Structure 1
């Protein structure tokens, strides 16, 4: 995770440096302009909608992370659509709808039917609502809340229900997650590239029954992920 964070930081700094080097004045030069479309007013770069997708490095965090062995990053993907609504040439609001495949790798210390090191795959439908601030003409910072609905769970090769209605597994998955997303984005014409980190605040696992899962708790863990993406604006 530290290597991924360092890589994303280097990419973000490189993008910011490139944007500054290609800008000799406000909106001067073809590369310096972040206007997505030839038509529209001065704020057209902060209006419109498009598609986006990219790489996700997902893991988990929290008090019970120490109770999992051989934990590691789950490399996967995300994709979806975004829209953007301008307040002025600096600030805008950007809601998104994303399909995000995430989760974590690790060995469960509990006495469950799933043993050894395996990947827990969690598929979410995410809705981040981000405040966008253009601190350079074509580079912006994004920050805002995110709500996620869990749609599918797969533990290793076994797909399982989100709820544990008959107390078969001794724990259930929380169908709702919420958290905070923050990142950096650069734009050239209709294209955009960026990176963001999202921290979930809700526990992934809930309703643990220690009589079935063992003496070590595994429910106090939360989502955490880095995303690197590219996007294309379609219309303003």
Structure 2
């Protein structure tokens, strides 16, 4: 994680320097957001585009310690965005993303019937979400911006150790169901070179991933106090209006 963060910071810095150099000395026609008049919505920050990249997902919360051999889940996200510039510095950016998340960590349910016991163990969970972040974007430099805002997500699919299972079904063999709805906050930074964008973002979910857990069987540990945690790196192409 530290190496990835350092690499991203260096990339953002390099792209920012390259972009500023191009805006000053580059080819004619590469417009800067400050080429537009202040106090107007006519800005390079207005437009739409596509984006996608890498997810490094995990969970946080008090019950994370009850999952053995925990680890990050590496996957991807992709989607579209629209952006409306209030001026050459401030804009709002809603997005629609498909994000494949999840986490690794062993959990075991023990069920005792008479003198016999049955154990069901899960070690990897994949969670597919349809996400809608709405971000406030501020250009700290002409080609470098920071963004933050709320996000809502709908869980569309769950895979446990490669097998699909129902989202809301606490009567399954594992004794719990999943929350179909998540909400949280996102924050990050982005650099632009012409129509290209590169950025990073962290999203923290506030809703419990697991709910309706049955703890009546002997040996079961609480697993419901965990929430989504995702670090994203992405590339995008924007089309300004």
TM-score range, shorter chain: 0.7 to 0.9
Pairwise CA distance, 1:45: 1.5
Pairwise CA distance, 1:158: 1.4
Larger Cα Rg: Structure 1 or Structure 2? 2
Provide the residue aligned with 1:16 in structure 2.
Answer: 13
The two structures have a TM-score, normalised by structure 2, of 0.85
Q: Conserved in 2, the CA contact under 8 Å of 1:36 and 1:233?
A: no
Q: Alpha-carbon deviations, 1:124-168, whole Å to 9, x = none? A: 000000000000010000111100000000000211000116455
Q: Distance in 1 between matches of 2:44 and 2:218?
A: 53
Q: Conserved in 1, the CA contact under 8 Å of 2:203 and 2:230?
A: yes
Q: Distance in 1 between matches of 2:94 and 2:218?
A: 39
Provide the residue aligned with 2:90 in structure 1.
Answer: 91
Q: Alpha-carbon deviations, 1:21-46, whole Å to 9, x = none? A: 65369x52338x98489xx9554320
Mind listing any 5+ residue stretches in structure 1 that lack a counterpart?
Answer: none
The number of residues matched between the two structures is 228
Q: Conserved in 1, the CA contact under 8 Å of 2:36 and 2:88?
A: no
Counterparts in 2 of 1:1-236, with a 5 A limit?
4-20=1-17, 23=20, 27-30=23-26, 35=31, 41=36, 43-111=42-110, 114-115=120-121, 118-164=123-169, 166=171, 168-212=173-217, 214-236=219-241
The two structures have a TM-score, normalised by structure 1, of 0.87
Q: Conserved in 2, the CA contact under 8 Å of 1:126 and 1:147?
A: yes
Give the alignment's Cα RMSD to 1 decimal: 2.5
Q: Which runs of 4+ in 1 moved over 6 A?
A: none
Pairwise CA distance, 1:209: 0.8
